[in-house]
Structure 1
Amino acid sequence: MAPDPSPSEPTETAEVVDDDPAVVDLLEPAEGVPPLVTDAAALADAAASLAGGTGPVAVDAERASGYRYSARAYLVQLRREGAGTVLVDPIACGGDLRVVDEALRGVEWVLHAASQDLACLAEVGMRPDSLFDTELAGRLVGYPRVGLGPLTEHLLGVRLQKGHGAADWSRRPLPAEWLTYAALDVELLVELRDAVAADLERQGKTAWAEQEFEAVRLAPPPPPRAEPWRRTSGLHKVRRPAQLAVVRELWGSRDELASTRDVAPGRLLPDAAIVDAALREPTGRDDLVGMPVFRGRAQRRLADRWWSAIARARALPKAGWPASAPAQDGPPPAHRWGDKDPAAAARLAAARAALAGLSERTGTPVENLVTPDLVRRLCWAPPESLAPDAVAGALRDLGARPWQAELTAPLLAEALHAVPAEPSGPQES
Structure 2
Amino acid sequence: MSETELPLLSVPRNGVPDVMTEEAELADYIAKLKRGKGPLAVDTERASGFRYTSDAYLVQVRRECAGTALIDPEFLFDLSSLSNAMADVTWVLHAASQDLPCLNRLGMRPKTIFDTELAARLLGDPKVSLGAVVERELGIRLAKEFSAVDWSQRPLPHDWLIYAALDVELLDEVMERQVARLKDAKKLSWAEEEFEYVRTLEPPAPKPHQWRRISRLSELKSGRQLAAARELWRERDRLGQETNTCPSRLLPDRMVISIVKANPRNSRQIKKMSGLRHRRLAENWHDALERARALPADELPSKRGSGNPGLPDHRRWSQSHPEAAERLAAIRAVVAEVGEQHNVPAENMLLPAHQRLLAWVEFPATPAAVRAALDEMGSRSWQIALLSAPLAEALRKL
Contact 1:346 1:418 in 2 (8 A): no
Q: Deviations over 1:256-294 (max 9, x none)?
A: 111111111111111110122223322333332332223
Q: Distance in 1 between matches of 2:102 and 2:315?
A: 37
Q: Distance in 2 between matches of 1:389 and 1:302?
A: 59
Q: Distance in 1 between matches of 2:43 and 2:78?
A: 16
3-state DSSP of counterpart to 1:144: coil
Q: Deviations over 1:32-55 (max 9, x none)?
A: 111221101001111111122111
After the TM superposition, which of the residue ranges 342-351 and 269-278 deviates more from structure 2? Answer: 342-351
For the pair 1:117 / 2:96, whether they are aligned, the reply is: no
Query: What is the aligned partner in structure 1 of residue 369 from structure 2?
Result: 390
Contact 1:60 1:77 in 2 (8 A): yes
Q: Distance in 1 between matches of 2:60 and 2:319?
A: 53
Query: What is the aligned partner in structure 2 of residue 61 from structure 1?
Result: 44
Query: What is the aligned partner in structure 2 of residue 356 from structure 1?
Result: 336
Query: What is the aligned partner in structure 2 of residue 85 from structure 1?
Result: 68
TM-score using structure 2 length: 0.95
Give the partner amino acid of 1:393: A
3-state DSSP of counterpart to 1:117: helix
3-state DSSP of counterpart to 2:7: strand
Contact 2:46 2:57 in 1 (8 A): yes
3-state DSSP of counterpart to 1:74: strand
Q: Deviations over 1:368-418 (max 9, x none)?
A: 0001221122122221x2210111111111221222122111111112123
Query: What is the aligned partner in structure 2 of residue 304 from structure 1?
Result: 283
Query: What is the aligned partner in structure 1 of residue 320 from structure 2?
Result: 340
3-state DSSP of counterpart to 2:61: strand
3-state DSSP of counterpart to 2:326: helix
Give the partner amino acid of 1:71: S
Query: What is the aligned partner in structure 2 of residue 417 from structure 1?
Result: 396
Q: Deviations over 1:335-373 (max 9, x none)?
A: 433333333332222222222211211111101000122
Query: What is the aligned partner in structure 2 of residue 198 from structure 1?
Result: 180
Query: Aligned-pair distance for 1:109?
Result: 0.4
* Counterpart among 113, 118, 127 of residue 145 in structure 1: 127
Give the partner amino acid of 2:356: R
- % of aligned pairs identical? 46
Query: What is the aligned partner in structure 1 of residue 19 from structure 2?
Result: 36
Query: What is the aligned partner in structure 1 of residue 197 from structure 2?
Result: 215
Q: Distance in 1 between matches of 2:22 and 2:105?
A: 18
Query: What is the aligned partner in structure 2 of residue 101 from structure 1?
Result: 83
Contact 1:347 1:418 in 2 (8 A): no
Q: Distance in 2 between matches of 1:140 and 1:397?
A: 23
Q: Deviations over 1:116-173 (max 9, x none)?
A: 1111111111110101111111111111000000111111111111111111111111
Q: Give the number of the structure whose residues are more often helix, by fraction.
A: 2
TM-score using structure 1 length: 0.89
3-state DSSP of counterpart to 2:107: coil
Query: Aligned-pair distance for 1:224?
Result: 1.6
Instruction: Give the unaligned 5+ runs of structure 2.
Output: none
- Classify 1:387/1:68 alpha carbon distance in 2 versus 1 (closer, same or farther; 3 Å): same
Contact 2:338 2:386 in 1 (8 A): no
Q: Deviations over 1:155-214 (max 9, x none)?
A: 111111111111111111111111111111100011111112222111111111111111
Contact 2:208 2:308 in 1 (8 A): no
Query: Aligned-pair distance for 1:328?
Result: 4.0
Query: What is the aligned partner in structure 2 of residue 165 from structure 1?
Result: 147
After the TM superposition, which of the residue ranges 332-341 and 210-219 deviates more from structure 2? Answer: 332-341
- Classify 1:338/1:65 alpha carbon distance in 2 versus 1 (closer, same or farther; 3 Å): closer
3-state DSSP of counterpart to 1:302: helix
Q: Distance in 2 between matches of 1:341 and 1:230?
A: 23
Q: Distance in 1 between matches of 2:239 and 2:315?
A: 39
CA RMSD across the alignment: 1.7
Query: What is the aligned partner in structure 2 of residue 323 from structure 1?
Result: 302
- Classify 1:219/1:378 alpha carbon distance in 2 versus 1 (closer, same or farther; 3 Å): same
After the TM superposition, which of the residue ranges 150-159 and 328-337 deviates more from structure 2? Answer: 328-337
Instruction: Give the unaligned 5+ runs of structure 1.
Output: 1-6, 8-16, 420-429
Give the partner amino acid of 1:81: E
